[in-house]
Amino acid sequence: MKILVDTNMFLAACLSQGAANTVIAACLQGQAIPLMGTALFNEYEDVLPGPCYFSVVV
């Protein structure tokens, strides 16, 4: 199965558990093929280095 994983779904999978996490897990296990075009890749580059999504709040 081919799927398009947009930036919101990828971020949701990284930050929490739920449906988005299940979709990304399926891709990592080879059950689905993630699709990405140039525009989506550029969006990943713009959004992911952004404001401390993965930092720990103390």
Q: Would you tell me how many other CB atoms lie within 10 Å of the CB of residue 48?
A: 13
Give me the phi and psi of 26, to 5 degrees please: -60, -40
Q: What is the pLDDT of residue 27?
A: 92
Q: What is the pLDDT of residue 31?
A: 96
Q: What is the pLDDT of residue 2?
A: 93
Across-strand partners of 34? 3
Q: What is the pLDDT of residue 32?
A: 94
Is 56 in contact with 23 (CB distance < 8 Å)? no
Question: What is the rounded distance in angstroms from the CA atom of residue 38 to the CA atom of residue 4?
Answer: 13
Q: What is the pLDDT of residue 10?
A: 82
Mark the ranges of the chain whose per-residue pLDDT is less than 50.
none
Sign of CA dihedral 34, 1, 54, 51: positive
